[in-house]
Structures are given as structure tokens and as C-alpha cells.
Amino acid sequence: MNDFTVQIHGAEDGESFRQREGHRSLLRSALHAGVGFPYECHSGGCGSCRFELLEGEVDVLWPQAPGLTDRDRRRNRYLACQCVARSDIRIKVTATAPYRPKVPPRVFRARFVEASQVTHDITEFRFVGEGPAEFLPGQYALMQLPGVEGARAYSMSNTPNPQGEWHFQIRRVLTGKGSTYLMEHLRPGDSLEVDGPYGLAFLRTESPRDIVCVAGGSGLAPVVSIARGAAEAGMLDSRQLHFFYGGRAPRDICGDHFLRRLPGYSERIQYYPIVSLPEEGSDSVWKGEIGFVHELVRRTLAGRLKDLEFYFAGPPPMSQALQEMLMVEYQVPFEQIHFDRFF
């Protein structure tokens, strides 16, 4: 692959950038160049990075990516996270400053050090990368895994640090290629290509509001990072943090273990677990809340929702239910709601 120029028609933020040799997607080239190209998942699922090709040619990396419809394809639209330029190109997309990376992403090698079990299907993986680990709490990185097509996005569960430590809490997906590679084939000492940080659902330290973290399934890591980041930044001296975790069954419940180590636990930090199937996979009787996590948020915080800062991560149905409840039913201002959908 050679370097190619990408011209953006009608751009508000960055009129052109170079797709450099070795960059794995047009989107990564744009963000590495500091251009505010719209995106969310980097995984071909959300469609946020869609653009129209006006001139030139691109190679599509994952033709079946669900983030594009057939209509999009007929209209010469592509996903920037799933294509690379094959010539100089001209494209139409609305690039805007909020998408410009706050911490410049970089590609580096990270060495796998150790893993520990969080639940029956979530494992924490600890890596050490070259140089300091610079990211904002709540962000994610892209991993290139041997024998796996495309990158996989994983959120950091720790906070930025000079030692270069990157911690990820990864849920096993039964037929999943990336998570199976990590759980079954990765050995201490192995190193992987990592690219990041990315993501817009990062901790807003300037917000004066109390914080609500909501996670379901594999969404644990970014909200643990948000809670840790808020504690480290001294935000919890003057704010409350409400942490909700929704699982399918009692054995899925997690998160409390990490919060207990933070100063202010139980005074300034409250933890609320809920399961939707209390009898599944467990011999003991679940005595806690039953239902969906967004309903528990409503029951616990109704009346105050408009005054809070929300961070959430998890499966698309959970994110969808929370968005509808907060934005449509309770008209919580959009600027107070931060999430990256997991695909």
C-alpha cells in the first residue's frame, strides 16, 4: 500500500489527510492525522463512519459489515473503519471537532503479562506497552489478533499510567474468534499490535454533576475505568457515583470488587446489581433486584435523572433502552449522556 491523499468535500474539521502506508483503515488514518472523522465502534457495526466516495477507488476490507445497508452500497457509500484508499480519493462526510482525538492514538506492541478471572466468562488481561499508557478513562483500543480478520475493540479498565499498563476485561463469546484467541491461545510474553486510544465516552472531569455508570455483560471495563478515574481526579470528594451492573444470571454479577477498593465506597460510591434470570446457572437463591438494568436506574434515580452525568457500555439492546429512557422519556440533555455501543 502506498500513501494516498484523502480530500474531504465540505469539511468543517480537516480538509485533507494522508492515508499512510501500513494504516489499517481510512478511519484510523484520519484520526491519527487529528481529523475529526465521525465514528463510534471501529468494528463495522454502528455506521457512524459512513462516507460517500466522490472520486477515486477504495478497497473494502469487510464487505458484509452490518453498518451499511444495501441502499448505502448502491449510493456509493462506504465505512471508513472497513476500507482503505487504493488511489487518491475525494469523499463527502461531516467531520467535526468533537471527534478529533483528545489523546493522539498510536500503534504499539503490547506484551501480555497475566490474566485473572472476574466472573465465569469475563477475564481481566494485563498488558504492558511501549511508553506510558496515555488514554482517558472510558476509552478503548483496537487489538490485532493472529489469525483473526479485522481488529477487535476492547475498553481499558484501568487508568492512564506512566508504567505503560493496559488492562482489559474481556467476555468470552462462544463462537467468537477474537475472544477465543485471547482465552485459549494467548500466553504470557506474547505481544500484540494495539492501536489507540479511541472512543468518545470518556470521563468528563469538568462536569459538576453526580455520576451514573451503567454496564451490562462485557461493558464492565470502561465504567470501572470511569469510576477509578473519577476517584483519582478527586471528583468524588464533592460528587456521588452510582454504579449499576445488569447481568443475565447471578453468576454474571461483578464490578463491586473493584469499587470496594476506591476511597468513599458506600458513602460516595453506591453499587446496584440486577439480574434478569435469577434462577439460571445458580444453586443459591438470588435475593437482589430482578429485571433490566435501565429499569433499576429509573427506580433508583427517577426525579433526579436530568441532573446527572451518564456513562454506559454494554450490548446494543441495553444501550438502546437507556438512550430511549433518558433522552426521550426524561429529556436528559444529550451532552450528559456518554456511551460507545459494543458490537
Ligand X SMILES: Cc1cc2nc3c(=O)[nH]c(=O)nc-3n(C[C@H](O)[C@H](O)[C@H](O)COP(=O)(O)OP(=O)(O)OC[C@H]3O[C@@H](n4cnc5c(N)ncnc54)[C@H](O)[C@@H]3O)c2cc1C
**Is residue 234 classed exposed, middle or buried when 0-12, 13-18 and 19+ CB atoms within 10 A define those classes?**
exposed
C-alpha cell at 267: 458513602
Nearest to 327 by CA among 318, 317, 336: 336
Binds ligand X (CB under 6 A): choice among 154, 245, 310, 339: 154
Question: Cell digits for 156?
Answer: 481499558
Other Cβ atoms within 10 Å of 178 Cβ, number: 20
Q: Which of 14, 36, 45, 101 binds ligand X (CB under 6 A)?
A: 45
Least separation, in Å, of the C-beta of 178 and ligand X? Answer: 3
Give 200's contacts (C-beta < 8 A, 6+ positions apart).
Answer: 40, 98, 99, 338, 340
Cis peptide before 197 (omega within 30 of 0): yes
Q: Which stretch binds ligand FES (CB under 6 A): 47-55, 132-140, 287-295, 318-326?
A: 47-55
49 binds, among ligand X, ligand FES, none (CB under 5 to 8 A by kind): ligand FES
44 is a site residue for ligand FES (CB under 6 A)? yes
Give the span between the Cα atoms of 151 and 78, in whole angstroms. Answer: 18
Q: Which does 340 bind (CB under 5 to 8 A by kind): ligand X, ligand FES, none?
A: ligand X
- Among 49, 143, 213, 236, indicate the residue that binds ligand FES (CB under 6 A): 49
CB of 48 to ligand FES, least distance (A): 5
Contact between 36 and ligand FES per CB under 6 A: no
CB 279 within 8 A of CB 177: no
Interacting span for ligand X (CB under 6 A) from 50-58, 144-152, 255-263, 301-309 = 144-152
Residue 320: phi and psi, rounded to 5, are -60, -45
Residue 25 makes contact with ligand X by CB under 6 A = no
d(CA 67, CA 47): 4
Q: Where are the beta strands (DSSP E) in 160-218?
A: 165-171, 191-198, 210-216
C-beta of 151: minimal distance to ligand FES in Å? 11
Angle at 180 between CA 177 and CA 184, to 5 degrees: 140
How far apart are the C-alpha atoms of 170 and 247, rounded to whole Å? 15
Alpha-carbon Rg of the chain, whole angstroms?
A: 20
Q: Minimal distance in Å, beta carbon 7 to ligand X?
A: 26
Stretch that binds ligand X, among 13-21, 48-56, 164-172, 290-298 (CB under 6 A): 164-172
68-97: contacts with ligand FES (CB under 6 A): 79, 81
Per CB under 6 A, the segment of 36-44, 183-191, 202-210, 262-270 that binds ligand FES is 36-44
Among 14, 38, 105, 178, binds ligand X (CB under 6 A): 178
Half-sphere exposure of 173 (CA within 13 A, CB side): 13
Look-up of cell digits 463491586 = 256
Q: Mapping DSSP to helix (H, G, I), strand (E, B) and coil, where does residue 93 land?
A: coil
Q: Near ligand FES by CB under 6 A, which window of 38-46, 128-136, 213-221, 266-274? A: 38-46
Our finding on whether 47 is near ligand FES (CB under 6 A) is yes
Exactly one of 34, 176, 264, 278 binds ligand X (CB under 6 A); which one? 176
Asked if 40 is part of the footprint of ligand FES (rule: CB under 6 A), the reply reads yes
Q: Which chain residues interact with ligand FES by CB under 6 A? A: 39-42, 44-49, 67, 79, 81
Binding stretches for ligand X (CB under 6 A): 41, 43-45, 62, 140, 149-150, 152-155, 168-171, 173, 176-179, 199, 218, 221, 340, 342-343
